[in-house]
Structure 1
Amino acid sequence: MDLLSNDIHSLTAADILAMCADQVAEGATLELKSDLPSNDGKGKDPWHRGGRFSDYARNSLAREIVAFANTFGGALVLGINETKEKPSRAESPNPIPRIHELERSLRQALQDIIDPPLPILESKSIGFDNEGNGVIIFRVPTSRRRPHRVDASRDAFIRRMDESVRISMREIQELTIQNLSETRRIEDTIGNMRAAFGARLHDWLRVNGGRGAGFQLIALPTSPIDLGRVAGRPSLVDMSGEFVGIGENDTQYQLLWPFGAYEGAWTPGLRRISTSRGTHSSDALCEYSLTTQAVCELALFTKLSGFFAGWLTGALSKMLLWINRIRIEAGASGVEFAMAPQVAVIGQEAQLGLYGARNFGSYSDEKIPIGFAEFPIMSIGDKEEFPTHLMQFDEDLWNLVGKDFQRSPIRFQLMNPS
């Protein structure tokens, strides 16, 4: 069992029992806890008496999570008896009561006291009986936002061998410098791809009347991913799944993206695959690409006089589902992605169609201004946060055309989530 690369939601009690049978040892990426930590090391946490877990238990677990996020990433398994040798090894399950409730409460409490917030914190509660007793797995990757601190003490921690240790101000500064370097690398990659898109859009419009618009989505992992061979792997480009927008009075709107990639039409290139929909002489051309380093791009070039809002949020939803699929295929479900949207308008302002509009006469009064609008880079973490990303993009989109998003907000929901 690989706690770091397997889909955390697929783990079962059998995996925990196998870990104990194999006597898996604590190390740089694994921490075992037999129970919620107590202040005196002997008594039981109030959780066992039907109360809320203590601040001491929460803060102790937060230190372990922060140490993983600041170093190589890792997993914390709560509810496992350990051997007395060093490093400690998994010995047997020690099921904790009300495990599913504890997972939900602890996960939120941990997020609340870690600063800056973790982009990704995965968790899974695994029941061992019909009475709600079980274990919890928390998992976090190396974080692009490090160094993280535990807000209660303002201390930062890193992982050294099988221990989480407090670090000095100098070490905090070193982590900050590393973080800035990685952030600069991501921003440079996005900047270069945005510039290349702009040049391609100008070239495309030059032979198509000189007026039009474009839309680009870039997504890349913040930690290295090597997909190996990408050609001939249809599962890598599976963007199946549908989100809907829900407006006032629970009115549902389909997020229709009419330029989806055709299955089986991907062409191999140098450590990449690509496909397109439309032609250089049609009203619209949409291109997709994926590299072996898991860098994805969606690029739309169009002569149409505007966009429907449902198109653009629909495209973003497809990119989110694509990211999720790539992480699963790469065995890297905990890796954060950076996503960068861009809307471009050339020659004349472009109109923005309302949700639910069925033709180009159903625009809003607002117009997208001429120029290249580079939306803020998004940090893509847990799948549960995808609706939040769609809401933020939708708000940014309407703000771009001068509309107050809060007057008529749309919320988003994944249909038939797996």
Structure 2
Amino acid sequence: MFPTHLTEVVASEVHAVIQDEAAETLDFELKRTLPAKKGVDPWMTNGKVGDDAKDELAAEIIAFANTVGGTLIVGIDEDTATKRAKPPLFPIPRCKEAAARLHQAISDRIEPKLPVFECEGVVTEADGTSGVIIMRTLESYLAPHRHSQNNHCYVRRNDRAEPMSMLEIQEMTRQKARAAADAEKSFKDSSDRFYSWIPRDHQRTHPYRGVQGIHTEHGTTKVWLGIWTLRVTARPLSPFLLMNLPKQPWLKQIDTRAFSGTGQIHQLRWGDLRTTRVWAPRLRAVEREFQGTNSLGLDRISSEGLIERFVWQEQPEHGRPRHSVLEITELHWNVVCVVHATTVIRAVNSRPTQPYSLEVELMTSDPMVIHGYPSSPTAVIPGGSTTFPRYEIGESQTLNELMMTIDKDVWNLGGHHPSWELGVAWPQIKLP
């Protein structure tokens, strides 16, 4: 309903809900005012938000999280016959303050804690403080969630939140367990595709040993072709289907641009990049290739929201070196490209808070000295294969923290613990 973060919603978008006569559905709920069993909620008469409102709204949010996710608006009434929004607005006084208090109270009433929950006040009135309260959550990968005040798990049935039976709770638990197993299989399948994709004229070895370089001859000169390869895979943590992928105009925003940054990062780019091909349709996916003089790359996006990047780089040397060189800014460029792709896909599909899980796999034929920052310390990554601890791609304000964590992990792999800061100038996304 709202394509941006709820913090960015404006009064005109709220009025459009009434003008469009939006109907209550499995993922949309309207409430005229803050719920109260007797009379009106104390907040409406300059008191505190009542427990009735906190408890009932928590049940609604739990039901959304245990079903398909959804949006709830407090301050808009519905037509009892059609279940559609109707005028006028019923503004909540000091709506932003009320939303902040409800966010905390509802979060405290939900077990386990929701991965994603937004609760914001949107001012719609001339007094500058009154308006509606909008809440939103996604289908949760941690479901089933329960209400800590009564221990009920709620689910959405048509346009109502209702307690789940024990049989339903057990079945949902089994479904989420299967979903977790599917996620592990998805990452394994990505790794298998990665190994199959590595050029076959270069020897591949056991995953724990990684790739091996080869000796070649140029006349009387022996050249060692050292190799490093990288896989970056991002997978949505809850169901997220992308329709008609080959015709999506937002694919143009997922390009092979350079990124500027702050701190240790001044520019992220692939120095050897020469050619980037267009996106081409595949079975329930799109792919594109990019390449340079000594490198190859592949990007892939599936209809299930899976994003993959495979990179292969050879480093010709006269004789086998003691150490090859890993340009840290090139490694980060590849990771940032995938993270940026997730932000584009989330934004244009009105899922700005959709969390993703991120996996990074690095294979090197030789030990590699990390290079690329001013006054870089000496840190050597051992040869072999490394799959880094899995990360989560959260909301936009957490992306620099994510990159700092990945940066530290790479340097830790080389035996050094950095203390510097870094940040990326994330591009502005164009919404349709």
TM-score by length of structure 1 reads 0.80
Amino acid at match of 1:350: M
| Corresponding residue to 2:301 among 290, 305, 308 | 290
C-alpha displacement at 1:258, in angstroms?
A: 1.9
Bigger Cα Rg:
2
Instruction: Tell me what 1:310 maps to.
Output: 329
Instruction: Tell me what 1:268 maps to.
Output: 280
Matches for 1:69-218 after TM superposition, within 5 Å:
69-84=65-80, 89-104=85-100, 106-107=102-103, 110-111=106-107, 113-123=109-119, 125-130=121-126, 131-201=128-198, 203=200, 205-206=202-203, 209=214, 211-218=226-233
Equivalents in 1 of 2:412, 2:55: separation in Å?
Answer: 39
Q: Do residues 392 (structure 1) and 411 (structure 2) align?
A: no
Instruction: Tell me what 1:351 maps to.
Output: 369
Equivalents in 1 of 2:384, 2:182: separation in Å?
Answer: 25
Amino acid at match of 1:295: L
Amino acid at match of 1:410: E
Instruction: Tell me what 1:223 maps to.
Output: 239
Equivalents in 2 of 1:190, 1:256: separation in Å?
Answer: 26
The number of residues matched between the two structures is 398
Equivalents in 2 of 1:211, 1:314: separation in Å?
Answer: 21
- Relative to structure 1, the CA distance from residue 120 to residue 205 in structure 2 (aligned partners, 3 Å threshold; closer, same or farther) is farther
Q: Is the 8 A contact 2:58 2:147 kept in 1?
A: yes
SS across alignment from 2:378: strand
Amino acid at match of 2:12: A
Name the % identity.
Answer: 24
Equivalents in 2 of 1:245, 1:363: separation in Å?
Answer: 17
SS across alignment from 1:322: helix
Structure 2 residues without counterparts, runs of 5 or longer: 204-211, 215-224, 316-323
- Relative to structure 1, the CA distance from residue 306 to residue 237 in structure 2 (aligned partners, 3 Å threshold; closer, same or farther) is farther
Structure 1 residues without counterparts, runs of 5 or longer: none
Most deviating of 143-152 and 69-78? 143-152
Most deviating of 77-86 and 173-182? 77-86
Instruction: Tell me what 1:319 maps to.
Output: 338
- Relative to structure 1, the CA distance from residue 19 to residue 301 in structure 2 (aligned partners, 3 Å threshold; closer, same or farther) is same
Equivalents in 2 of 1:303, 1:252: separation in Å?
Answer: 26
Equivalents in 1 of 2:99, 2:272: separation in Å?
Answer: 38
C-alpha displacement at 1:264, in angstroms?
A: 7.3
Q: Do residues 13 (structure 1) and 25 (structure 2) align?
A: no
Most deviating of 119-128 and 298-307? 119-128
Most deviating of 217-226 and 106-115? 106-115
C-alpha displacement at 1:153, in angstroms?
A: 4.7
Q: Is the 8 A contact 1:213 1:306 kept in 2?
A: no
| Corresponding residue to 1:380 among 393, 396, 401 | 393
Amino acid at match of 2:96: H
C-alpha displacement at 1:76, in angstroms?
A: 0.6
Deviation sequence 1:8-48 (CA, Å, 0-9, x none) = 5575433433433454343321122223334x442333476
Equivalents in 1 of 2:60, 2:96: separation in Å?
Answer: 21
Instruction: Tell me what 2:26 maps to.
Output: 28
- Relative to structure 1, the CA distance from residue 267 to residue 387 in structure 2 (aligned partners, 3 Å threshold; closer, same or farther) is closer
- Relative to structure 1, the CA distance from residue 172 to residue 410 in structure 2 (aligned partners, 3 Å threshold; closer, same or farther) is farther
CA RMSD in angstroms, aligned pairs only: 3.5
Q: Is the 8 A contact 2:64 2:137 kept in 1?
A: yes
- Relative to structure 1, the CA distance from residue 313 to residue 153 in structure 2 (aligned partners, 3 Å threshold; closer, same or farther) is farther
Q: Is the 8 A contact 1:242 1:414 kept in 2?
A: no
Deviation sequence 1:223-259 (CA, Å, 0-9, x none) = 141330415x55224147987665xxxx463351326
SS across alignment from 2:162: strand
